[in-house]
Structure 1
Amino acid sequence: MMLPGILYYIIYHYIPMGGLLIAFKKYNLVKGIWGSDWAGFDNFRTVFTSPDFWDLLRNTLVISVYRIVFNMLPDLLFALILNEIRLQWFKRVVQTITYGPYFLSWIIVYGLVFSFLAPDAGLISTWWRDNTGETLNLLTDKDWFRPILIITDIWKSTGYGAIIYLAALATINNELYEAAVVDGAGRWRQIWHITLPGIREVFVLLLILRIGHILDAGFEQVYIFLNARVYEVGDIIDTWVFRRGIEQLDFSVAAAVGFFKSIIGFVLVVTANKVAKKLGGSGIW
């Protein structure tokens, strides 16, 4: 029964790791991986000496930290709110409505945002112009680019992200709540002393996993929302790799960046796991 899953990981996850050799070669499409000349660490030097690298790294880290802080907390709060709803039909309706946006592509989400914020024809932009006489162009405003990313990400993923917390809440023994009621604890006390401790391990687990992907700032969303006027605050490592690796066919440099991200992610996951255990959690392993 385990064989299909093992074969899947071997074929699609372990064998492709041989492609990491591209990061240490001057990869040529005609010569292939094995026929291409060795470059040593030249590709990594190209990345780290790029004048844009540190700006890209800063943007990536800032957007990723925003995602961790402003995505995990709404997921948790929404799960707690749903858990307090006693009308099951109303709870199911709310869940269905909030889960829906998760299955929309970022292209569709951008289309919806554009219909509201387009400078000339957007609903909000038109209302603002009619009432103030000023032109509102948030999509090309550097101060608004990151908030728009976070707001749209919260709208799209909060409902689906709450599923894991709801599953964890379902495992909490109801006798604990009954004992708390007998002791005179109200709903807030029950949440603080029973509900939150009951899902703490799940929260820590998800936090560790997100820290491991801190250099993945959401390529698809950022690439779709990105434009020339917001490159200073919105250009991240993945969008730079896309332009360098796909548009300029410089696969070696793109592979070097991917290798660098993997090493950093591995170190962060191991470190976060050890910190979680030191603080009394179970961690991932």
Structure 2
Amino acid sequence: MPSTRIAFIGAGNMAASLIGGLRAQGVAADAIRASEPYAEQRAKVAAEHGIEVFADNAEAIQGADVIVLAVKPQVMKAVCQALAPSLSGNQLIVSIAAGITCASLEQWLGVQPLVRCMPNTPALLRQGVSGLYANAQVSAAQRTQAEQLLSAVGLALWLEQEQLIDAVTAVSGSGPAYFFLLIEAMTAAGEQLGLPRATAAQLTLQTALGAARMAVESDVDAAELRRRVTSPAGTTEAAIKTFQAGGFEKLVQQALDAAANRSAELAEQLGQ
């Protein structure tokens, strides 16, 4: 994004991760600004990334082509309403706040080019994935700007319907916690089988990492990879059958349905 000037409203973990990703891709420090209410965090971001930081949001967005809204959903309405008079009308607004719809943002900011996205926490390691939705005011060039921004911390995937953000939230936004839960459970089960806890944890973590890399790098899907590991009447089959007898697939579907429904409920509550 060589000629794009970007302003971040909020400089917490996710914003700092995006800033770090952009800087690693060669975006100049003087092309990035950020505002942040906490002095300690301002100093940290300025020192780590060499960018200019501000306490005042309106000052930070002066001259910006892209404005990234990276504040907590609960304060988004107040932040947007205060920011609205300072907008030029053609700046691209990118919101990474969970549960805030484009309709709510348009109500608070006025009609603006808006991209709403749902990143996830592995973005902190630049291994994230984000679902992006653009409103009708976003130009092709601005879609490219938004995609390049989120690609700085992982994979960026476009959605044609905004309501699919709830599904993205259920699958990838909340998804890291599901894997952490499985890691917890496998580590505990290994310990119950007699392994030292540290050994059980190492075995589980490396297995999770290796399996994920195999799935990402393979030319076949996860179902085929599972079949290749599952010998008839073997140990893996015994475990898989136990999972399935307990309703594993149905439970996963119910869990993701619950997450998607809660995402929609929060959007309704936060948009008022």
- Tell me, yes or no, whether TM beats 0.5: no
Query: TM-score w.r.t. structure 1 length?
Result: 0.26
In proportion to residue count, which structure has more helix?
1
For CA contacts below 8 A with separation 6 or more, give which structure has more relative contact order. Answer: 1
In proportion to residue count, which structure has more strand?
2
Structure (1 or 2) with the larger CA radius of gyration: 1
